[in-house]
């Protein structure tokens, strides 16, 4: 029943916005959209992440700004979803599967999880972020996670969120990590990595961990 209500709400929202003609599933038939697929729309004034259920879309989040971001794609290594990963044995398989499912380098997922929770599946931050990838409750709900402390679900959701942010920020690793820590709205508002000490340290730490895993 809950899923039905979500689909009905999403369909109503799509119908209400149909006259805007910004983006719809029928506009991109070659994309072969399937249930749960995330697509990014960027019209120069806003960036919106949509989740599709057939031809019904649901907006995950939208960023609007008058300034455009300068992005610097890190490189194709971000898309090596088959790369080996160093992680606790009982989690390595989940990370590998999550990375392949969402097209994210598993070494990046591992670097984020290490920084976020030190592999503690029951970690809870002072701001309420939970689990291995430290998902905020609202983000977890958007990503369809029922039990945020279940390692597999948490890792899959975190990898999916990383994929969404990588697409949103054109593969820019620093902006992606900053958005994961401080939120995509903060990145857009400041036109780059926000001037928060925590976020700047976070970006440097995760990037360094990831690059060590790449052998840089």
pLDDT 10s digits, 121-150? 999 999 999 999 999 988 898 888 999 999
Report long-range pairs for 13-20 (Cβ below 8 Å, ≥24 apart): 13/58, 13/59, 14/56, 14/57
Across the beta sheet with 37-42, what order do the strands follow? Answer: 37-42, 46-53, 56-64
User: Which residues make Cβ contacts (< 8 Å) with residue 147, sequence separation at least 6?
Assistant: 153
Residue 79, Ramachandran bin (φ over 0: left; ψ between -120 and 50: alpha; else beta): alpha
* Rounded Cα gap, residues 174 and 59, in angstroms: 24
Q: Domain limits of the chain? A: 2-64, 76-214
CATH code that applies to domain 76-214: 1.10.530.10
| Rounded (5°) CA angle 12-17-19 | 130
**Phi and psi torsions of 124, nearest 5°:** -135, 125
- Point out the catalytic residue in the list 20, 58, 116, 150: 116
pLDDT at site 114: 97
Whether 211 is catalytic = no
CA diameter of the chain: 51
pLDDT score of 13: 41
pLDDT by residue (tens digit) across 86-120? 899 999 999 999 999 998 999 999 999 999 999 99
Whether this model's pTM surpasses 0.85: no
């Amino acid at each position: 029943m809950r899923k039905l209500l979500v689909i009905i709400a999403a369909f109503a929202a799509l119908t209400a916005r149909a006259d805007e003609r910004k983006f719809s599933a029928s506009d991109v038939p070659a994309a072969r959209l399937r249930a749960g697929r995330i697509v990014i729309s960027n019209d120069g004034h806003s960036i919106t992440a949509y989740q599709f259920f057939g031809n019904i879309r649901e907006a995950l989040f939208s960023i609007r700004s008058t300034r455009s971001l300068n992005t610097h794609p890190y490189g194709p290594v971000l898309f090596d979803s088959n790369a080996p990963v160093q992680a606790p044995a009982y989690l390595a398989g989940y990370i590998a599967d999550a990375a392949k499912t969402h097209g994210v380098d598993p070494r990046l997922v591992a670097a984020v999880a290490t920084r976020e929770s030190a592999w503690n599946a029951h970690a809870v931050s002072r701001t309420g972020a939970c689990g291995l990838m430290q998902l905020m409750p609202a983000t977890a709900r958007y990503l369809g996670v029922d039990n945020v402390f279940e390692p597999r679900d948490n890792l899959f959701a975190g990898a999916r969120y990383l994929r969404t942010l990588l697409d949103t920020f054109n593969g820019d690793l620093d902006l992606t990590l900053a958005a994961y820590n401080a939120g995509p709205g903060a990145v857009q508002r400041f036109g780059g990595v926000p001037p928060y000490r925590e976020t700047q340290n976070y970006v440097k730490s995760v990037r360094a961990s990831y690059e060590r895993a790449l052998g840089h």
